[in-house]
Amino acid sequence: MRRLIVASNNPNKIEEIKDILKSLPVEILSLSEAGISIEIDENGKTFLQNAYIKASAIFNLAEGAMILADDSGLSVDFLGGAPGIYSARFSGEHGNSKKNNEKLLNLLKGKDICQRHASFICALVLITENGDVFEVEENIDGIIIDEERGTNGFGYDPVFYLEEYNHTFGEMEANTKNKISHRAKALKKLQQEIKRLLRE
């Protein structure tokens, strides 16, 4: 069975990717599952640049596998697109979702709904075994509410509200989120390319 190594050890992200791509006849591995330990300097200026930096770094270490890298984040119009590529370390401490959400809510305190529009963005880069590169970027629009709601998901999910579902991502069941999210949309688009590769 062909392998697909995801250039991440984020357990939430890995779980979502494995769930969304579960119909593919490939072995999907995190970096740790693939026996890879590396610190990657994500110094790009866009989500796609950072995804490519991660994918190419792992491609150089892992022979005979497809490499998938995801760089995702939140863009708030009122904040000029912030936190953007700094979403995971918005509060200054990498991966501290509680502090990131607190900072975001404080910056939007007292703002009305028209100033709370935001988009979740997901950039994916796939590098095939022979070095071909495929890039995808998708987003989903929502509103930042004024308090955390729900304990599902991760990151900014509890404050990202979708009017048409009357729920935050944090209140949604995984099977619903994994059909409509920015990551789901991007992976579904890329999935068609992976299926084509598997037929070769």
User: Considering Cα of 174, then 180, then 183, then 187, what sign does the dihedral take?
Assistant: positive
SS3 125: strand
Residue of 71, 112, 132, 157 with catalytic role: 71
For the chain, the first-to-last Cα distance in angstroms comes to 13
Phi, psi at 124, each rounded to 5°: -120, 140
Q: Tokens representing 135?
A: 């890039």
Number of H helices, E strands in the chain: 5, 7
| Cβ neighbours for 113, distance < 8 A, ≥ 6 positions apart | 143
Query: Is 19 a catalytic site residue?
Result: no
The set of catalytic residues is 71
